[in-house]
A and B are shown apart, each in its own frame.
Chain A
Amino acid sequence: MPAVLETTDLRKHYQMGDTTVRALDGVNLSVNEGEFVGLLGTSGSGKSTLLNLIAGLDRASGGSLRIFDQDLATMGSMELSMHRRRNVGIIFQSFNLVSSMTALENVTLAMMFAGVPRGERETRASSLLEAMGLGGRQHHRPRELSGGEQQRVAIARALSNQPRLLLADEPTGNLDSRTSREIMTVLKDLNEREGKTIIMVTHDPGLARQYAHRIVTMLDGVVVDPSEVPA
C-alpha cells in the first residue's frame, strides 16, 4: 500500500502573548491508501491542529508534510486552495453548511470552486444526496434538516470533487448516539466500498476502536503509545 500521507518531525508553534504554544512538536505519521485512521486525544493534544494542517487550512512551522507526494510546506495560498478542492474532503463537527443555501446548493458550491460545469454539478450533487438518503430533501435549507441530515449533506459535499482522502473532525460530536452510528456507518461504507482513505479526529476511544483500522493517540503535540496516556 502506498503512503497517502507522510509527516516528518511536523511542528506547529504559535505565539500566545509571551509564551510559545507548541501545538505540534515533531509529529511523525504515515497513512496508507485505503486506511481508516482514528486520531485520538484529549482536547489540546494537537489532533485538530494536525487535521487542519493535513487539510491545508493552516501552515506548519517546521518539518515536512507530504500528501500524494506533494509537500504542503512549500505551497502558496492558491496551491493550498487547490489541495483543498481536489485532494481532500472535510467533514466538521458543526457541519458548516451555508445557512442561506439549500442542500443541493451547498453541494454544488464546492464543485463551483472546482470549475465543474453547471449541468454536471447539479446531476452529481443530486445523485450524491440520493446516495446519502436525502433524495427528497435536496431543496431544504440546513435549518429545516436534522443534525444527521445536515451531516449527510456535508459528507455529500466532501465527496463532490471526488477526493481520495476524507478528513473528519469529530463528525459525530453534535449528534445523538443513534445518528452517530448512522453517520459512522456511512463513513465505514465509503472506506470499504469506495476505498476512501479516512482520517477521523475524535476524543471518544470507543468510537475510534469500533470503526478505525488503526488508532493514533496524541498527547501534548506528539504521537504517543496509547499506554502512555494517563487514564
Chain B
Amino acid sequence: MTFRDTLDLAVRNLKQSKLRTGLTTLGVSIGIATRAGMVSLGVGLQDQFVGRFTKSGMFDSINVLPGSVGQITFGPGRGGRGPARRPFGRNAAAAAAQAQSQSPSGEVKEITDETLKELAALPNVREAYPGLRLPVEVKFGGDSEFNTATGVPMSVKNEGAFQSIPHGRFFADENEAACLLSLDLAKRMNDANPAGLIGKELMLNYASSSGSGQAAPGMPAGVTRGESKCTIVGIIERETGPFAAAGGVSPLMIPLPKAREIFHASPQAAQMLARDPTRTSRPYPSAVVKVKSPQATQDVEEQIKKLGLSAFSLNDALEGAKRAFIILDIVLSLIGSIALAVSSLGIMNTMVMSILERTREIGIMKAIGGSDGDIRRIFLIEASAIGFLGGAAGIVLGWSVGRIINIGANVYIERQGGTAGNLFSLPWWLIAGAIGFSIAVSLMAGLYPAARAAKLDPIKALRHD
C-alpha cells in the first residue's frame, strides 16, 4: 500500500465525518494558537527589547575604564565619569589630588595613548578611541549654558545614533570646526525651528592652561578661558535610555581631535604633568573599543581585562536580559502546552470514537488483506492530517488574535507616551515549528488509538455492528 493510497483513505475517512473532524481540528487549532501565541509574545517582547538596544548600535562597543584585573568600576566619583564631569569652578588642585589618591602608582592601569595603541592591536578590534566628555560652556546668541561635549570619531558615521540624522549631516572630516546637537538641546536653543540652527555658529568656552585664552575671572592662577567656534552641521535625535551615554551621544558632539585638544589643554592636565614629570600626557577617563563583530565582544572584553583595565559592554547587560527572556519563554510555553495537552486529548478521543465506529470496516480491511501496519498507518495519517489542519488554522487564529491584542496594547502604550511596536512576532520558523509540532503532538495522540485499531481481532471486528 503506497503512501498516496494511505493518505487518500485517511482523507476520505476524515471527510466522512466532517463535523467531528472539524471540531477536533478546531480544538487543536486553539491549542496551537495559544502555544504559538505565547512563543510569539515571548519572541516579540524580546525583539522589542533587543531591537531597541541594537538601534543604539552599541553591540560592538566595549567601554574601557582604568582599573585593575577583575575590577569593574564605573559610576560617578571614580574612573571615567568622575574627572570629566567635575564642575567647572571646582578647585583643580583638589581635583588632581583626588585623582591621584584614586590611582596609587602601579595598582591602577591608566588609559593613555599607548594604552589605546595596545587596545587597537588586540585581535578582532576595529579601533580604540578615548571616551571624552568635556564640560563646556555653550554660548549661542546672548544665552549660555554649561553642558557636556563628547568627542566623536569619524568612524561612527552611519552607526548607531548617527544612522539617521534628521536635520543636516555628519562631520565632513575630523578637522572641521563643526558640531552636532541633540534634538533636546536644539529645541532649547530654538524651540520653534530647531532645523533652522544648521549653519549657525556656536561658541564653546572651556578651562584651559594654554596661554592663548583670556584669563578667567574666579579661576586659579594659570587657568585661562579657552574658546572655540563651531558650526552646527547636524541635529540628531537623542536615543534616551540607561546606556545612551555609552553610545557616545550627548547634547553636543564635536570631532574627536578637537575634544582631545581641549582635554590635553585642560588645567587638570597641566597640574598632573607638573606634579609627575614622568608623565607625558593626562590619562583618559575612559576608552571605547569597537570590535569587528558583536560575537567577538565577549572575547575582546576578556583580553582587555587581562591588560589590567576594566571593561563592560552592552552584551553583559544583554546576556542577563536574554536569560530573563528564556525564563519568560519557558513560562509562556508551559501555559501554551496546557492548552495543547487538552487538544491532544481531544484528538485521542476522536480517534478512539472513530475506531469504535469503524470497527467493522477495520475488520473488512483486514479480511481482504490489510495488514496491522496498513491499518495503523491509516489512523496515524488521519491523526497527522488533523494535526496539520489544526496547526495551519492555529497559526491563522493565533496571528489574528495577536494582531487584535497588539492594536489594543499599542493604543495603550502610545497613550502612556511609549513607542508602538510589534508585541507579537511571527517568524517563519515559528510557523513551520507550530505546524510541525502540531503534527507531532497529533501523531503522539494517535499512537494509542492506531495501535488499538491495528490489533483488532478481524473475526470479532467483522461481527461488530
Contact = CB atoms under 8 A, between A and B. Distances in A.
Contacts of A100: 12, 16, 361
A110 B374 CA distance: 12
Contacts of B361: 98-100
Nearest to B6: A112
Interface string A93-116: 000111110000000011011110
Interface of A: 52, 55, 57-58, 77-78, 81-82, 84-86, 90, 92, 96-100, 109-110, 112-115, 118, 157-158, 161
Contacts of A113: 1, 365, 368-371, 374
A110 B369 contact: yes
A81 B364 contact: no
17 contacts: A55-B367, A57-B367, A78-B372, A82-B369, A82-B371, A96-B364, A97-B364, A109-B365, A110-B369, A112-B5, A113-B1, A113-B369, A113-B374, A115-B1, A115-B2, A118-B5, A158-B368
B1 A81 contact: no
A100 B459 CA distance: 21
Interface centre among B2, B5, B361, B367 (most CB of A within 10 A): B367
Given A92-B462, A118-B5, 16 more contacts: A57-B367, A57-B458, A57-B459, A78-B373, A81-B370, A85-B368, A90-B368, A96-B367, A97-B364, A100-B12, A100-B361, A109-B365, A110-B369, A112-B9, A113-B1, A113-B368
B192 to A, nearest CB: 79
A138 to B, nearest CB: 17
Given A58-B459, A112-B1, A115-B2, A98 B369 contact: no
A96 B374 CA distance: 19
Interface of B: 1-2, 5, 9, 12, 16, 360-361, 363-374, 458-459, 462
A18 to B, nearest CB: 21
Contacts of B372: 77-78, 81
Contacts of A161: 369
Contacts of A114: 369
Contacts of A58: 459
B459 A52 contact: yes
A109 B366 CA distance: 11
Contacts of A158: 368
A77 B374 CA distance: 12
A115 B368 CA distance: 13
A81 B5 contact: no
Contacts of A115: 1-2
A157 B2 CA distance: 19
A157 B367 CA distance: 11
A81 B364 CA distance: 12
